[in-house]
Chains A and B, each alone.
Chain A
């Protein structure tokens, strides 16, 4: 049956994760020209299998062949070069880059067009999905459906011989799904081997040539779509073995405690239900159908837009966990590492902080009471831990989960909400948790359990709500509850709700839209800065006609020149989400070095040696910063603060007071100007414009911005993130050296403290230019205007007769205002 001539062939693939065997000797084969669907429940191993097939995960055993050749290297890039393309369920896009730029990074090198043709090329690549996506739009601003379309078009643009689509239809409307199917059929007809992964059985039955069912990491059969019924497939998807022991159910669940009336949010279309005193209520459904939003909304963790909840007759305020807890509703969240516990803290600290109402009096925690309570909780939950003072991060997943549960129980809940209470933990612990949840319900605190494991829901719950597209499509009670029934309800209800959803308003790219985009683009700050410069210049010019004199303009620009280069370096670092505090002292140190060599009476040979030493010193500092940040995982602020201080020390060691006059030949050459404009400023502006072009129209620039935009997505697209991070600090240091040469020409002597203040100036200029401190966004043109504005401000304070304090105030206030405004604007658009 296995045909190794072409397509995708996996043989004997096994992958283990701690506690589970995710894939167990899987053989899977897709022929060219075939649409092969891979189906299975939540956690069956579909995504793991495809991660292995696409080189993102190394299998523990087994072989992978793409287009008849064994996979050369386990990496997504190598797989792509071999002709495999994958569109992920959650698109791994670079949010700060444009649609075109994302597409460019998606395809193998040989298919990349030149930058001049990129826009047209991208428009063509976007045609298959037929959506009106603007190639120049920023990817982070697309709708979910547009992102998914972009991801699929990116995979198609690779012209692959194997195409993998992982749950591609989730955000799509009916028309778009039809369009997708048409494209998939066309691709297969052209000889492509297509793997189509989906939960939605009706879709799969309509599209696929063959189906393979995966359950618990094992293949449960491969079928021709024409020879199998939906029912037969469901039977194979369900039917998981029951491995954990479930507690018995009670005969009666008691009176109603909680009432939910027409609860609505972005993803919920009106949920109404009740919860009885001794009940365990299950929430089921294919991932992403509103069940998680529902349980989180009840716990106050996600926002709601309508409807109401009462507990024991009293309305519950939703909207924040704090408020929900006031009514006794406690949520045990899914992501235990993020929301469940503080993993760096100890078991005792994690449990103790939830129980202060029992252990503290007058705000002081009684140590003995706390120790006793924590010890009791550890014993009751059966947490295996060497000492209560062990950090939670050192526990196994199951024990961590017990701590999360303990924290929720110690909060004394009236209603307990559990989002995936047994995710990723082994059988024995699961059983412990089931019994604890049941006993909680029996003691009068109802429990809501959301689980992607239908066996678990069938074994544990008194009632199960099945979600689809933000609604409850089936309510199962008593004997109706079985894994098969839940699976069937989840899988077959899938498409029924679709037609109701109206298509979003069509988005056009008219002139008004283009103007709006300009306002929110990365170049918009330049417009505001230019306006501010003109305004300030007008004010000063009216106060004194000397302001616009050639001499004043020349001296202003001359002072600004070094900052142009330092700020350029600063922005390069900031584009990756870093910061370089050392630029100021580095420029000072380099001037001091120069002051020993670049002197009158020394020959050109010494000058060259001096310049070489400056270059080496700068490169060494950049490399040091980069290595500390990248390899020793020191935060950029601290790493560059170390070099900041060391460089200050170094320059004071070399010269404890200003000395060593730089050769006037050099200073005059560097200070030369054409009219009022120094050549240095022209060069600086050219460098900034060049960097701006580079950052948008070269692969190097895309990699730089991509690495800062999203490290995870960047890795997926084959960007060497570590090397980029190292390179930016070196680039910053080398640009600082250029700035240092101009600083040297300005002050003329080796002054060990001259450079220090330039750090703040460079950072302010960069943030004024609209760069995001968190990386990915920034404009070198903005930096140009930012530097000039800073200089104009400084000059204006002089002309207006303001004290020196104003310069500091302006600097501080501008930095605060710029970052605040830009971050608010960005938050609104997101």
Chain B
């Protein structure tokens, strides 16, 4: 191959030297904050009362659960993967945390701990399959999801149990009017966000997600980071499942089913790149808040859960299509083909 022909065309280089806001990434992540504000502003117009104190207080715990589950999904997507084991992970954790104490008197804390460990284990299996056996992420996670659901059915024998008093008291409780679940979500998401942003571990995690070959040459153990993403995700789903079980007291045995799509929607809405590398955990959490409030408003406006599903699908479709269409190429085709000084002239 000729070396001249292998040089790729310079990408979208605008006028050099000028501050060009489009090149900065902030816009990717800030749009969800704006959309969420707009939704809250519009909520009373769509259904009066959906912004009342009690309505918001009853919505926030669900937003918190979704934010924690979506945090897991974000970590996996940050490596260009996708995790379809959300339903199984949440359901199994919920069943373990409720069924074990009720059936065999295991202390609640031990049951919760076991749930988190099992979640980590599920993630480890997916990660191992993806990294070491080169199985596509969606097949591995779909298969593990099936196995987890099997365990749910086995452990629960098909019947739900009630959460212990301590667990549900914590889950429905609040501190100074702020629901405990919201506090947990804020702490977990905030901590994860800080780790990704400000620690060596986080920086390397992102570097691996943004490009495995480049990270490998940088001397990073890419496989460990990638497997770690699935393990952390598994723990997140378990935590979300446990908290939701406590809040609902007697959770449906398959309580995670409705969470799969919203976690992916939250990641996309939050501005993360599905191919990995670009991610913002706080924005995902805001997107989770947005989706929960949207559900709430749709319900309060008198629509059925069926409509809710349609709205969810529409929101995800809109956001992926909006991000997926190569707008810059479209724009380039519309504007005249001006020669690009930054890339065609030798700089002196």
Fill in one digit per residue for A761-788: 1 if any B CB lies within 8 Å of its CB, else 0: 0011001000001100000000000000
Residue from B4, B203, B311 in contact with A365 in the complex, judged by beta carbons closer than 8 Å: B203
- Given known pairs A18-B9, A649-B306, A805-B154, the reply for A342 and B214 (CB within 8 Å) is yes
In residues 1-32 of chain B, which contact A (Cβ within 8 Å)? 1-14, 16-20, 23-25
Nearest-CB residue, chain A, relative to B325: A632
Given A424-B6, A653-B307, A344:B142 Cβ within 8 A: no
Q: What chain A residues lie within 8 Å of B346 (beta carbons)?
A: 19, 426-428
Asked if B4 and A325 make an inter-chain contact with CB atoms under 8 angstroms apart, the answer reads: no
Q: Which A residues, 12 to 35, have Cβ-Cβ distances below 8 Å to chain B?
A: 16-20, 22
List the A residue with the shortest CB-CB distance to B2: A47
Knowing A19-B7, A638-B264 touch, does A391 contact B309 (C-beta < 8 A)? no
Does B38 reach chain A (CB closer than 8 Å)?
A: no
Inter-chain contact B11/A653, CB cutoff 8 Å: no
**Which one of A143-151, A393-401, A515-523 is at the interface?**
A393-401
Cβ-defined partner of A819 (8 Å) among B139, B149, B308 = B139
Residue of B nearest to A645 (CB): B313
Among B10, B82, B217, B313, find the residue whose CB has the most chain A CB atoms closer than 10 A.
B217
Shortest distance between the CB of B79 and any CB in chain A (Å): 12
State in angstroms the CA–CA spacing of A808 and B9 once bound together.
Answer: 50
Q: Would A386 and B273 count as touching, CB distance under 8 A?
A: no
Q: Chain B interface: which of A178-186, A346-354, A595-603?
A: A346-354
- Are A423 and B274 in contact (CB-based, < 8 A)? no
Alpha-carbon separation in the docked complex, A428 to B346 (Å):
6
Do A760 and B313 have beta carbons less than 8 Å apart? no
A428-B273 in contact given A652-B304, A806-B150 (Cβ < 8 Å): no
For the complex, is B47 an interface residue (Cβ under 8 Å from A)? no
The answer to the question of A628 belonging to the interface, with a C-beta cut-off of 8 Å to chain B, is yes
Q: Looking at the complex, which of A125-133, A560-568, A820-828 is the stretch in contact with chain B?
A: A820-828
- B277 interface residue per 8 A CB criterion: yes
Given A807-B150, A812-B146, also A824-B325 (CB < 8 A): no
**Contact in complex: A344, B210 (CB < 8 Å):** yes
Is there contact, CB below 8 Å, between B214 and A338?
Answer: yes
* CB contact under 8 A between A808 and B149, given known A338-B213, A653-B304: yes
Contact of B215 among A342, A453, A649, A827 (CB under 8 A): A342
B49 at the A interface (CB under 8 A): no
A808 touches B150 (CB 8 A): yes
Q: Chain B, interface size: which category?
A: 35 or more
Query: Could you tell me if A634 and B1 are in contact, using CB atoms closer than 8 angstroms?
Result: no
- Interfacial chain A residues near B345, Cβ < 8 Å: 426
Chain A: number of interface residues, binned into ranges: 35 or more
| Given A338-B214, A804-B153, A808-B146, A349 contacting B206 (CB threshold 8 A) | yes
Q: Which residue of B lies closest to A335 (CB)?
A: B213
Complex-state Cα separation, A407 to B220, whole angstroms:
14
**Chain A 378-402 interface 0/1 with B at a Cβ cutoff of 8 Å (1 = within):** 0000001011011101111110000
Q: Does A633 sit within 8 A of B, measured CB to CB? A: yes
**Cβ distance B285 to chain A, nearest Cβ, rounded Å:** 20
Q: 1/0 per position for A330-344, CB-CB distance to B under 8 A?
A: 010101011111111
Q: Which A residues are CB-close (under 8 A) to B261?
A: 641-642, 644-645
Flag if B3 contacts A452 (CB, 8 Å): yes
Q: Are B17 and A22 in contact, CB atoms less than 8 angstroms apart?
A: no
Also in contact, A827 and B134, with CB within 8 A (given A345-B206, A360-B200, A645-B261): yes
- CB-based contact A424/B150 at 8 Å: no
Known pairs A339-B214, A344-B273, A632-B320; A396 contacts B154 (CB<8 A): no
- Across the two chains, which residue of chain B brings its CB closest to A633? B324
Contact digits for B197-228, partner A, Cβ 8 Å, 1 yes 0 no: 01111011011001101111111110000000
The contact of A642 among B133, B206, B320, by CB within 8 Å, is B320
From A38-46, A659-667, A716-724, A742-750, the one touching the partner chain is A38-46
Q: Any chain A CB within 8 A of the CB of B344?
A: yes
Which residues of the partner chain A approach B203 to less than 8 Å between Cβ atoms?
A: 349, 352-353, 356, 365
Chain A CB within 8 A of B310 CB: yes
Q: How far is the CB of A45 from chain B (nearest CB, A)?
A: 6
Are the C-beta atoms of A805 and B153 separated by less than 8 Å?
yes
Distance in Å: Cβ of B331 to nearest Cβ of chain A:
14
Q: Chain A residues with Cβ under 8 A from B220's Cβ? A: 322
CB of A429 closer than 8 Å to a CB of B: yes
Cα–Cα distance between A321 and B23 once the two chains are bound (Å)? 32
B175 contacts the other chain (CB 8 A): no
Beta-carbon contact of B12 and A820 below 8 Å = no
Indicate if A81 sits at the interface (CB-CB under 8 A).
Answer: no
Beta-carbon nearest neighbor of A813 in chain B:
B147
Residues of chain B within 8 A (CB-CB) of A17 are 4-5, 7, 9
For A360, what are the chain B residues with a Cβ–Cβ distance below 8 Å? Answer: 199-200
A89 CB-CB contact with B under 8 Å: yes
Is B248 positioned at the interface, with any CB of A under 8 Å from its CB?
no
Chain A nearest CB, measured from B160 CB (Å): 16
Cβ of A637 < 8 Å from any Cβ of B? yes
Between A and B, 8 residue pairs with Cβ closer than 8 Å are A299-B217, A322-B220, A386-B18, A628-B320, A637-B138, A646-B314, A653-B304, A760-B142
